[in-house]
Structure 1
Amino acid sequence: MDHRPRHRALDQDDIATTMLPRIRAEDPGDATAIIPKVAPDPGQTAYIPKFSEPSADPTAVLRKLPPRPPSDRPDEPAPPTPEDQPDAAEAPKGAIVVPLRPVRTEEGYRSVYSEYTRTTFGSVARTISRGTGEVLITFGLIVLLFAGYEIWGKAAIVNEHQDELNHQLEQQWAQPPPTVGPSATPAAVKPANGAVIASVHIPRMNKKWAVVQGVTPADIRYAPGHYPDTAMPGQLGNFSMAGHRTPAIWWDLDQLKPDDPVIVKTADTWYVYLVTSHEIVLPNAVQVVAPVPGKPGEKPTKAMLTMTTCNPKFNNYQRLVVHAELKRSQPVSDGDPAELKG
């Protein structure tokens, strides 16, 4: 026995007679009125009620609110009535009632926020404090940039000039020495100020510098300078030099210890000096560069070397002085000295 449900396909006539409303006979001309026309009820579409003009009284809105329906909980307190609401003059602490529209005065409209943005002692103090802070921060950045330039910017410039001076020195040494007549005096053969005369190597600092003649600010701008009235390298007396206390020149001169080598190279000779002492003096203590350091007028018996620089770092109200004594010398043709390699 067949228990399957019996169904049949609906044709267009069935759909027209069962699923769509019939067209009324009294309106045969309206053949498209499948869905009856229903006039909308204005009350059903008024979801948002029309607001009346705002009142100047901020609490008027509270008074117009409809009463809340009674609660299902008997122990819940009754809602406050408009009469129970606090007056605008007695607003809760911390609550500020701000009108939503400008206030009209005799002079025109006044912003509702004018009383909160007007200039007061507190606002002026905050403005001054904020401005002072910005100025101090800007000044601090300028100081940091200047310090960076003094440390790294000038070092790069000095290193570039040192490369050029060393190149000039190598070219000068490669040329044959000038012929000096028998009548020439020692003063006549002195190098001119600014001329490169030697190179100084300090193994402890792992650096070398070209040395120029003269100690004026222009002479020692990019290199240590030789005091013109002192002895030349290897001679009896005091071969004295001055250099700036910058990272590119004699920044770490205070790290030298006794017996540290200071090596000077000329066109044909290496001179190896060993550090004997160091001292800190005033800028006018010129006796440190005398032929016998600290003893002006005394006749020298040794070949000495003296290096002077500013002290402390970033200042110049003192002088750091390092003294060394000649230990030995060797020709350049014999190669680099052992102290330089070690």
Structure 2
Amino acid sequence: MRTSSRVRVVGHGDRRRRTRRRRALWGGGELLVTVGVLLMLLVVHQLWWTNREARRGAERKVEALERQWGSDRARDDIGGGAVNGGPSTVPTPEADGSDAPARQRPSTRVTPPRRSQAYAVLTIARLHLRVPVAEGVGKADVLDKGYVGHYPGTQQPGQAGNFALAGHRNTHGEPFRYLPRLRPGDDIEVETRSATYTYDVDQVLPRTSATDSGVVRPVPRSLVRPGHGYDAPGHYITLTTCTPEFTSRYRMVVWGKLVSTRSR
């Protein structure tokens, strides 16, 4: 008895379809690997390279400011007067109302800095932070350089009112990354050409809206969480940064009060 068997014939069309599927799968795999590498490089650039470059630039700017101030003070000593917008002195009347002999104190008149100009140095010992302060809070010309930015329209260091600052918490030098470590009583120093102002941390607002403008008013008080802030005029400093980390949804706020001024 003869047994017949059927042999399946594979056509050229089937082989071509299988080849195309293999090529598509291989191409898709290569594309995924490429995208993964690009994403990894982007993360490395954001988390490492931008921090490295911004920190270096900020350190160089601090050194440049200190050299400039030292040179200006040397010229003041030689010339006997203030230069380049330095502090002038005004007589302080004696207790009896006479002017002689008159003591001297730095004038509170300050020449406003130009936009994006670095003009002060912020030092926070607990955070091992020493960073330039520049006018404005623009990203490209201030914050992304690793600087801390001064909110335009708020007061200057040592002045009555609110000296309000902003800084990155992540990437681009991230000067305020460890702001949550600050505790009441910690020192915040602001150095300018004419004086060093020391503030003590007084209040911390862990989270508020990014649009909470009350925190940078002359008498700072949160409009979102009214239990945080002040009711009376004073000499305040405000530090703001994004929270939680790697987002910009909310803001964290640290407030301090001026406790001493030391002329340079």
Per the normalisation by structure 2, the TM-score is: 0.71
Question: Is the CA contact (8 Å cut-off) linking 1:274 and 1:326 kept in structure 2?
Answer: yes
Shift of the 295–137 alpha-carbon distance from structure 1 to 2, 3 Å rule, reads: closer
Give, in angstroms, the shift of residue 226 of structure 1.
0.9
Aligned counterpart, 2:144: 221
- Tell me, in whole angstroms, the C-alpha distance in 2 between the residues paired with 1:114 and 1:300: 89
CA offsets per residue over residues 153-184 of structure 1, 9 Å max, x none? Answer: 1112212221331133113312033367x9xx
Offset of residue 264 of structure 1: 1.5
Query: What is the aligned partner in structure 2 of residue 284 from structure 1?
Result: 211
Deviation at 1:227, TM superposition (A): 1.5
Count of residues in Structure 1 that have an aligned counterpart in Structure 2? 224
Question: Partners in 2 of 1:116 and 1:205 — Cα distance?
Answer: 69
217-226 or 124-133: which moved more? 124-133
Higher alpha-carbon Rg: 1
The residue identity in structure 2 corresponding to 1:192 is R
Instruction: Select 1:258's aligned residue among 166, 184, 189.
Output: 184
SS across alignment from 2:159: coil
Residues 331 and 151 of structure 1, relative CA distance in 2, 3 Å threshold: same
After superposition, the Cα gap between the structure-2 partners of 1:227 and 1:114, relative to the gap in structure 1 and judged at 3 Å, is same
The answer for the alignment partner of 2:241 in structure 1 is 309
Partner of 1:7: none
Name the structure 1 match of 2:16.
Answer: 119
8 Å Cα contact 2:116-2:135 kept in structure 1? yes
Q: For the Cα contact (< 8 Å) 2:135–2:150, is it kept in 1?
A: yes
CA contact (8 A) 2:185 2:200 kept: yes
Inter-CA distance 128–192: structure 2 relative to 1 (3 Å threshold): same
Q: Could you give the per-residue CA deviations for residues 261-299 of structure 1, whole angstroms, max 9, x where no partner exists? A: 222222243322222212322222111100111179x98
Post-superposition CA distance 1:37-83 (Å, at most 9, x none):
xxxxxxxxxxxxxxxxxxxxxxxxxxxxxxxxxxxxxxxxxxxxxxx
The Cα of 1:212 is off from its aligned counterpart by: 0.9
**Residues 126 and 259 of structure 1: CA distance in aligned 2, closer, same or farther (over 3 Å):** farther
Match of 2:51 in 1: 155
Please report the RMSD computed on the Cα atoms of aligned residues, expressed in angstroms.
Answer: 3.3
* Structure with higher strand content: 2
Distance 2:34 2:196 in 1: 51
1:117 positional shift: 7.0
| Alignment-derived partner of residue 168 in structure 1 | 64
Query: Secondary structure of the equivalent of 1:144?
Result: helix
Q: Which has the higher contact order (CA 8 A, sep 6+)?
A: 2
Given that residues 236 and 300 in structure 1 are in contact (C-alpha distance below 8 angstroms), is that contact kept between their aligned partners in structure 2?
Answer: no
Distance 1:328 1:119, change over 3 A: same
How far apart, in 1, do the equivalents of 2:121 and 2:158 lie?
13
**How far apart, CA to CA, are the structure 2 residues paired with 1:193 and 1:254?**
29
Hey, what's the Cα distance between the residues in 2 that align with 1:132 and 1:252?
42
Distance in 1 separating the partners of 2:237 and 2:181: 17
Once the two structures are superposed, the pairs formed by residues 1-342 of structure 1 within 5 Å of their partners are 89=5, 115=12, 118-120=15-17, 124-174=20-70, 175=72, 176=76, 177-178=82-83, 189-217=111-139, 218-222=141-145, 223-247=147-171, 248=173, 249-275=175-201, 276-294=203-221, 301-332=233-264
Deviation at 1:133, TM superposition (A): 2.7
Letter in 2 for 1:139: V
Letter in 2 for 1:202: I
Q: CA deviation at 1:116?
A: 9.7
Question: Which residue identity is paired with 2:144?
Answer: R
Q: Unmatched 5+ residue regions in structure 2?
A: 77-81, 91-107, 224-229
Q: What TM-score, normalized to structure 1?
A: 0.56
Uncovered stretches (5+) of structure 1, i.e. residues with no partner = 1-85, 99-112, 333-342
